[in-house]
Structure 1
Amino acid sequence: MNDHSNGGTIIAVDNGWWLLGPGIGGFVVALGVLGFGMLRRRQAVVLTGTVLLAMGALLLVGGGLLVADPKAGLTEALKTGGLGAGSVVALYALWLNDRRRQVEEQRQRLDTSRAEHDRERVSDERFAKAVELLGHEADQVRVGALHALAGIARSRPEYAQTVLDIYCAYLRRPFEMPDEKKGESRYSREGEVRRSAQQLIRDLLPKTGADGPRYNLDLMGATLSRLDLSGRLVGGMRIQDATLHRVTHLDGAEFHGNVYLTRATFKGPLNWDGARFHRRCGLGGVSWAQRPDPAKATFSTPDQPCG
């Protein structure tokens, strides 16, 4: 209604009109929430919903203030409503940052997965190629293949037991030691390849005292020379029917699985000073060039006579 006094004109607005502000604000808020719910995955629509929510908050809070306190001026109502609208915008900014973070994390996971897949593929290809080269005629190529497998085992520990199995399989191949009595050189080309395999087995085994994996060795029936596992941590070991030339070093080694030396032939001495056999050690039918002292090793089971 209009009120004329002292020659001036004052426009007074009925309080009923201010009820329209909260009503519109509530409608806009509801519309914005609906927009979020239906199309929350589309950033442009989310932004539109945010604008609608901010406008709704402005009208709802500002209009509500004028309804609750008619004496409050329009400026105060706008300030208060602006705070509500600003809160909505701040929430949108937080949501947007979180959304970007999630997208970035997902991208990083995809990149990591892709890199890991490529790494596995390259390792598999290198592994297959190295195994193939073990059958090459040239001894230097076979030595290179052995070292390539060792590199794979070091970079991909899950390959280590498989690589050790391949080394053991190579050493189980038939091999005749050179007969020095017949004037044959002790250093044959194949002998050098086999010594490389033995050395790489030692290198891949963890040292005693380390909290490392316990790998198994299967050298049953193998022809070995100067086998050296001293100071190494081993799981189980099978050397049944093997022939071991020169000095065999097991001193300071720890065996956490069963060890079978059954029917093995030791052409040279066996040094097992300080070795620890945590499980059974089968020594039946062993042929000794020089019988070792069982008191120098530690056995965990009572049936350990030197066969």
Structure 2
Amino acid sequence: MKPLSIVVTVAAVVLVAAIGWLLGPGAAWWLVHVDGVTGLTGKDLAAAVDAVRGRVLAVATGLAALAAVYYTARNADTARRTFQLGERGHDTDRYGKAVEQLGNAEAPVRLAGLYALEQLAQNNRALRQTIVDVITAYLRMPYTPPTDDDQKDAGPAVPRAAIGGRAEPPGGRDPREERQVRLAAQRILTTHLRGPAPAQRRRRQRATPPPDEFWPNILLDLTEALLIDFDFRECRVNKAAFAGATFNGNAHFEEATFNGDAHFDGSTLNGDAHFDGSAFNGDAHFDGSAFNGDAHFEGATLKRGASLYFDGAIFNRCARFGKARFHGTTFDGGPWFHFDRDAPKRGTRFRRITFNGDAWFDGATFDGDAHFDGSAFNGDAHFEGATLKRGASLYFDGAIFNRCARFDKATFDGDASFHGTSFDGGARFDGATFDDGVSFHGAIFNSGTSFEEATFKRGASLYFDKAAFNGDVRFRQTAFNGYTSFHETRFNDSARFAWAIFNGDALFVGADFDSNASFVGATFKRGTRFVGATFKRGAQFDKASFNGDASFVGATFKRGTRFRGATFNGRTSFERVLQSQRVHLDGAFVASEAIGAEHEWPPGWRMEPDGEGGAVLRRGVAPDA
């Protein structure tokens, strides 16, 4: 016997003996020594002793009742455990039979096995993950979908063995029947993974599933599976593996939630792919994926601390990421973002992607670094209204835009790099705002380019060094509030900077203007340098204002260049200009504060007082000393 049982038994024997003694001669002893009653005789003594025995009997009755309750509960617990052991054994038998049915050659038997597993998982939470693993393993098994000829020739989808004169197909499975089995397996999974929506999504959830039907905290492994018309809308899983999977028909992941890592790397989506409003709370991998239909990621969210990878992916039709939000690890988080100096980078990577259809990122928000390095946009690229948050960076280095690239009204609060990018179909940055450094170093613009009414804020350095504009470029009314450099930039078509404002230094050193260049009404508030620039088709600086020093040293003017109504408020130099006779300064003004500066005017030009403290430039015999 166990020590506890021995103690309980001895205590029970002692308790019974004590009760028996108190019901006998011990009652008189209790009356005298415990109750302290003495001096009673006759009937009074007998009544007092009977009262003691009554109390002892009542206590004994209560203890007997408690013992009965204890032993009844113990027996019930034993019975419950026995029942549970029996149920487990029964569940094990049912599980084994259901799994065996999945290997049957007959489609109805396989279907029965699936539904038996579903019911078993619904009744036994401990078996849910195991049963999900079995169903996903079934979907990962090799399968060849029916061909068009099979569809036309086959007739009703019933077991072929039941059709007279038809031989059983190789392997014993009709692909049409197997399709139905696989669709049932998919429905079982998605039905029980479609959980209650978060509060912000409940209004637009199509139907609230019963709470007991949802299987939470499931890990889903459909690696290299062939999935048909897969509907994962509003489903929630911890981790999901679709790496190498093939999706035939449209794939629906709208409003799906991935609480752990999601792997779609190397997957093939042959129909439209819908990830609208989906939430990736862990890393999401789409590396090397092929989207052969339209891809929709509108309103998708990448949470803080997570990374999104599309390296080497191919979008053969339209790709839409409008209003998507890519969070990361700092503040609101950010793709490829530093949590601190020692933290690893996190982020969004679209490196070396091919977009064969239109790509829509309009209204997308990048709270951290995003990489599109080396990507090819073979359709229109839409980034209208996109936002790059402060502290983040956006990289398009070496990317190719074969059609129109639109960044109208986009906001770049972080660095943006277009180093060596090719814009073959036109680039539009109208109304865009740049609040940090932006580089188009070595970029090639083969069609029309427009930065009209764009704003480069103070502290936002702009580099177009060695870029080439092979189509016309418009910077009309653009505000350059920081350092601006067009060093050795080639303008092979018209360049329009009319009414632009340069609040920081403006450098056009070695720039080559092969066509007309217009700076009409432009304002240069700090130093301006056109040193060594070449104007082959003429330029207009009419009504331009040079509020800082202006240098055209060594510039070449091959056609007429006008400065009519221009104002020079600082030191101006046209020293060593070539073909200076092409420069027309008629009506240009020199402000009073610049009268005493050492100017170098083209040969034949001089300053004449204008009667208001300033001077007007006139053609004369020699420049004013």
TM range (shorter): 0.7 to 0.9
| Structure 1 partner of 2:184 | 196
Q: Write the mapping of 1:260-279 to structure 2, written as runs, cut at 5 A.
A: 260-279=263-282
Distance in 1 of aligned mates of 2:104 and 2:8: 67
- Looking at secondary structure, tell me which structure has more strand per residue: 2
Q: Distance in 2 between matches of 1:38 and 1:217?
A: 54
Match of 1:56 among 13, 16, 25: 25
Residue deviations 1:33-69 (CA, integer Å, cap 9, x gap): xxx9985546xx965642322223422245569x965
Whether contact under 8 Å (1:58, 1:78) holds in the other structure is: no
Report the 3-state secondary structure (helix = DSSP H, G, I; strand = E; otherwise coil) of the residue aligned with 2:227. strand
Query: 1:246 corresponds to which letter in structure 2?
Result: G
**2:107 aligned to which of 133, 139, 161:** 139
Residue number in structure 1 paired with 2:119: 151
CA distance in 1, matches of 2:44, 2:246: 99
2:258 matched to 1:289? no
> CA offsets per residue over residues 246-274 of structure 1, 9 Å max, x none?
11111111111110000100000111112
Report how many residues are paired: 268
Q: Where does 1:120-139 land on structure 2 (aligned, <5 Å)? A: 120-139=88-107
Aligned to 1:85: 53
Q: State which of 241, 252, 260 in structure 2 corresponds to 1:249.
A: 252
Task: Kindly report which structure 2 residues correspond to 1:18-57, keeping only aligned pairs within 5 A, or say none.
Answer: 40-41=11-12, 49-57=18-26
SS of 1:217's equivalent?
strand
Cα distance, 1:178–1:56 mapped onto 2, change above 3 Å? same
Distance 1:77 1:255, change over 3 A: same
* Paired residue type of 2:94: R
Q: Secondary structure at the match of 1:176?
A: coil
TM-score w.r.t. length of structure 2: 0.40
Shift of 1:214: 1.4
Could you give the per-residue CA deviations for residues 135-160 of structure 1, whole angstroms, max 9, x where no partner exists? Answer: 11101100110111001000111111
2:120 aligned partner, one-letter code: I
Rate the CA distance shift 1:173–1:80 in 2: closer, same or farther, 3 A: same
Q: Deviations over 1:198-249 (max 9, x none)?
A: 0111122241336962101111111111111111111111111111011111
Q: Secondary structure at the match of 2:25?
A: helix
State the distance in 2 between where 1:47 and 1:89 align.
11
Note the alpha carbon deviations across 1:86-111, whole angstroms, 9 max, x for none.
Answer: 22212211111111111101110011
Report deviation, 1:85.
1.8
2:83 corresponds to 1:98: no
Of the three residues 19, 36, 43, the one matched with 1:75 is: 43
Counterparts of 1:156 and 1:172 in 2: how far apart (Å)? 24
Amino acid at match of 2:50: G
Give the helix-richer structure, 1 or 2.
1
Q: Show CA shifts across 1:6-56 (max 9, x none).
A: xxxxxxxxxxxxxxxxxxxxxxxxxxxxxx9985546xx965642322223
Query: Could you tell me which of 196, 208, 211 is aligned with 2:196?
Result: 208
Q: 1:214 to 1:38 in 2, by over 3 A?
A: closer
2: CA distance between counterparts of 1:177 and 1:68?
99
| Corresponding residue for residue 379 of structure 2 | none
- The aligned amino acid for 1:59 is A
Q: Which amino acid aligns with 1:228?
A: D
Amino acid aligned to 1:150: E
Query: Cα RMSD between the aligned structures?
Result: 2.7
- Out of 277, 280, 283, the position equivalent to 1:280 is 283
Q: Secondary structure at the match of 1:296?
A: coil
The aligned counterpart of 1:173 is: 141
Q: Which residue of 225, 228, 237 corresponds with 2:240?
A: 237
Farther off after superposition, 261-270 or 85-94: 85-94
Q: Partner letter of residue 147 of structure 2? A: D
